[in-house]
Amino acid sequence: MNSSLISHVATRTAWLWCAIVHLQASIVDGEVQGANNGYSHLAPAFKTYCASCHGPDSTMEGDILLTDQTIANLEENADLTRKLIEALDSRAMPPEDEEQPADELRSEWIKALRPVLHAAVAKSLGTTRTPMRRMNRFQYNNAVTDLFQLNCIVFTLPERAMRVHGDYFNPASGKMPYEVTVGNRPLGKSQMIEPRLGGVAAFPQDLRAEHGYDNQGDHLSLSPLLMESFLKLGESITQSPDFVPQRVGIWNSFFAAPSDDVDLEAEIRSRLMPFLTKAFRRPVDAKSLDRYTQFALHELKAGASFTDTMKAIAAAAIASPRFLYLYDRIDADNEDAGPQPIDDFELASRLSFFLWGSLPDETLLTLAAEGRLSQPDVLSQQIDRLLKDKKLKRFCDSFPTQWLQLDRIVSSVPNRERFPDFYFSKYRLSMHMMLEPLLLFETVLIENQPITQLIDPDFTYRSALLEKAYGDLGNTPGKSTGGNVTVLTYQRQPVSDRRSGGVITNAAVMTMTSGPERTQPITRGAWMASVIFNDPPEPPPANVPPLPEKPQQGEENLTLRERLAMHRERADCRGCHEQIDPLGFALENYDPIGVWREKYENGREIDASGVLFQQHSFANAVELKDAIIADKDRFCRALAGHLLSFALARELGPSDTIALDEITAKVAAEDDKIHSLIREIILSPPFRTKS
C-alpha cells in the first residue's frame, strides 16, 4: 500500500487514540454530597430493615453502606438510588429470613425513591456515555460484505450458530414456514464450508462480555498490533483471488476501468464520494476526498492499473479508523452540557448496527443527509423497513444466542454411560438442542408475537431426533426423519405439554446448566436470574468449594436440595442464594439432558417448589411459568434491558432505569408485541442521545 495513504490511516488512528484518552479522562465518579432533600424520613425505615447488613456497624461485607448521610443525599448518587429501587422492587432485600416491611411500606419506599432517581440522573448530566469502540468480528464481516455487495462472506464465522439451508427467513412475509432446514456449528467443518473469499484469515473472535455481549465497547479496543492486522486484512480482502466481478456487486461502478475519453480525476471523485460515504457512514469531507483522489492519480501516473489502484483505496478505507470505529461526535463547546441528541447519521448507524449488525444502507444515509431520518413518521417507517428486511437475520444470528448464552452447550459433555442417547455416531444431541430456542426467537420476531411466547409458547420447532429425545415431553415426530447429520430438518409443532417449550424449559438450557453427572440448580438459578430477569448474581467467594458431582459418604439418600443446604452455610452467601436457588430448583425435574423425571436415582421425590420474588408460590416448572407471566412486566423490562445494552454496546446506567420503566409501560399497552419493544427501545432517550 502507498506510504502516503498509510500515513493518512495512521493519522486517523492517532486522532482516535487521543479521543479515547480524552473520553476516559472525562469520566468522573459520582460522589455523595451533603444536602438534605426532604426524604430523610426514609432513614428510620432503612435502619429497621437494612441496618443489620448495610448499616455502619454491620459485620457483613456488602458493597452498599446506608448511613443517615447517604440516605439524606441520595439525589447526589444516582447509582445507589437505582440499586435501592431495584432491590426493593425485586424483593431481593431484605432477605427472606429477616423482618419484612409491609407491602404498603415497600411501595411507599419505591414511590418516594423514583423522583429522587430522576433528580439524581438530572444532576449527573443524564445519559450514560456510549463508548467509542471498534466493530467486532461479526460486524466487520457484515460491513465489508455490504460495502462491496459481495455474494459471499468474507471469512468463516463459527460464532454464527445456525446456518440456513434454503431461504426460509423472510421477515416481509410475517410468517415462518412449517418446515425449515438448517445446519449447526457443532456438526463440524462441513457446516463451515460456504462461499467466502479465499486467502482471507479472520482476526480472533471477540468474546462475550461478562453479563453482556460481544459488541460491548469496553471489550473492543484496538491495539497497535491489531491495527496493523487490520491493514493487512484489508489488503488480503481486495487481493483475494475470489475478489472478482462475479463476487463483487460494485465491481462495474467502482473497480472497473472507465473509458478513455472521461475526465479521470472527476471520474475517480464521483466513484469515491458514495463509496467513502457508505464506508464512513456520513459524507466524506473534502480534505479526505482530495487525499484519496490524489493518491489514485499518483498511482495511475506511476503505471498502476485503474483496478489495482481502486483496490488499494478500498483496502485503505476498510482499515481506516473511520470505518473500524463506531463513535458519536461530541461538540467540544458543549461537552459538559449533558445529553445531546444524536445527529441523523449517528441515528442511521445505531439503527443499522442494532438490527442489521452492519453499515447503514443508501436509504438510511440519504434520509440522514436530508435531515429527515429523525422525523417521527420517517423514523417509524424505517424501523418497519429494517424489521422486514432479510438482513434482520444477522440480529437473530447475534442477539438471541448471546442473550440465552447458548454457546455454553458446545462444551457440555454428559456422562456417556449414563446418558447414551445424547451421543450418536461422532455427534452430540446438543447440535439439535440449541436450534430449538433460536427458531422460537426467530418466529416470535418475524410474526411479531407477544414476548410472553418466549416463556410459555403454544408452539416450538423440533427435529425428529430431538422429539424422540424428549421422551414423554415430546410430540409425535413428523414424517421427515432424515437429515440428522448434514442438514437438520425442523418442523413446527404444537406444545401439548407446558412442561416443555420456550426459552427456559428446553433441552439446550437444561443440558448446558448441568454437569456431566448431575443437574446444577445453582447454575440454573443464576442463568434464570441473569437471562430472564436481567439481575445477575455476584460471583461466589473464591474460597467456597463447589458441591461434588457425586454424593459423598453418608449423603447417598439425600436430595440435591438437602445436600446443597448442608453445603451452604455462609452468611455472606445467603442473599444471593435466596434469590437464585428457588429458580434453579424449579427446574430440578429436568435431568442433565432435559428429560423429565419425578424422582432421583436414590428414589427420593424431587421438590421443585419455591416462591418467586417473595410473592408468587409455585410447585413446579409450569407454575413457575405462570408466575413469570403473572408478573410479565418484570420480564419485559428485563428483556428490554438486554436489548438496550446490546443496541448501545454498553452496560446500563441509572438514567437507563428511567427509560426502561417507560418502555415497559408502553409495550404493555401494545399487547407486549416484540416489534413494539424494539420500536420503543429505538425511540427511547438513551438510544436517541449521546453524552
Q: Give one DSSP letter per residue of 144-161, joined into a string.
A: HHHHHTBSSBSS--TT--
- Higher pLDDT: 209 or 469? It is 469
Give, in degrees to the nearest 5, the angle at Cα 525 between 529 and 600. 160
pLDDT score at 228? 85
Residue 60 confidence (pLDDT) above 60: no
pLDDT tens-digit series, residues 464-483: 999 999 988 887 644 444 44
Q: In the sheet that 162-165 helps form, which strands lie side by side, from edge to edge? A: 162-165, 179-184, 488-494, 459-462
Among candidate residues 649, 645, 14, the one with its CA nearest the CA of residue 326: 649
482 sits in the region (left: phi over 0; alpha: psi -120 to 50; else beta) called beta
pLDDT score at 36? 43
Give, in degrees to the nearest 5, the angle at Cα 194 between 193 and 200. 90
pLDDT score at 68? 58
Q: How confident is the model at residue 538 (pLDDT cuts 50, 70, 90)?
A: confident
% residues pLDDT > 90 (the chain): 56
Residue 664, SS3 per DSSP: helix
Whole-model pTM: value is 0.85
- Written as nine digits, the cell of 402 is 448471546
- Written as nine digits, the cell of 569 is 452455610
| Greatest mean pLDDT range, 37-46, 82-91, 558-567 | 82-91
pLDDT score at 482? 46
Residue 162, SS3 per DSSP: strand
pLDDT score at 112? 72
Q: Do 154 and 141 contact (CB within 8 A), yes or no?
A: yes
Q: Please enumerate in sequence order all residues whose Cβ is within 8 A of that of 296, keeping only pairs 6 or more positions apart, or say none.
A: 268, 272, 309, 310, 313
pLDDT tens-digit series, residues 627-670: 999 999 999 999 999 999 999 999 888 888 889 999 999 999 99
pLDDT score at 542? 63
pLDDT score at 579? 77
Range 548-564 average pLDDT: 70
- Higher pLDDT: 601 or 37? It is 601
The Cα–Cα gap between 314 and 255 comes to 9
Q: How confident is the model at residue 307 (pLDDT cuts 50, 70, 90)?
A: very high
Residue 324 confidence (pLDDT) above 90: yes
pLDDT tens-digit series, residues 13-40: 443 334 333 333 333 333 333 334 545 5
Domain boundaries, the chain: 3-25+134-156+194-326, 42-123, 396-549+572-630
Backbone angles phi, psi at 106, to 5 degrees: -60, -45
pLDDT tens-digit series, residues 385-394: 999 999 999 9
Residue 86 confidence (pLDDT) above 60: yes
Q: Please enumerate in sequence order all residues whose Cβ is within 8 A of that of 286, keeping only pairs 6 or more positions apart, or say none.
A: none
In 303-424, alpha helices (H): 306-317, 321-324, 344-355, 362-369, 376-388, 393-403
Range 400-418 average pLDDT: 93
Cα–Cα distances in angstroms (integers) from residue 213 to residues 163, 348, 538, in the given order: 21, 21, 18
Q: Using CA of residue 654, residue 659, residue 662, residue 663, what is the dihedral sign?
A: negative
Q: How confident is the model at residue 52 (pLDDT cuts 50, 70, 90)?
A: low
Residue 83 confidence (pLDDT) above 80: no
95-109, 156-170, 223-237, 564-578: range with lowest mean pLDDT: 564-578
Q: Do 255 and 248 contact (CB within 8 A), yes or no?
A: yes
pLDDT tens-digit series, residues 271-304: 999 999 999 999 999 999 999 999 999 999 999 9
| Greatest mean pLDDT range, 6-15, 163-172, 193-202, 458-467 | 458-467
pLDDT score at 20? 33
Give, in degrees to the nearest 5, the angle at Cα 326 between 233 and 654. 140
- Written as nine digits, the cell of 633 is 412486566
pLDDT score at 123? 67
Mean pLDDT of the chain: 84
- Written as nine digits, the cell of 182 is 438448517
pLDDT score at 31? 32
pLDDT score at 510? 97
Residue 177 confidence (pLDDT) above 90: yes
Q: Please enumerate in sequence order all residues whose Cβ is within 8 A of that of 109, keeping only pairs 6 or more positions apart, or say none.
A: 42, 45, 84, 88, 101
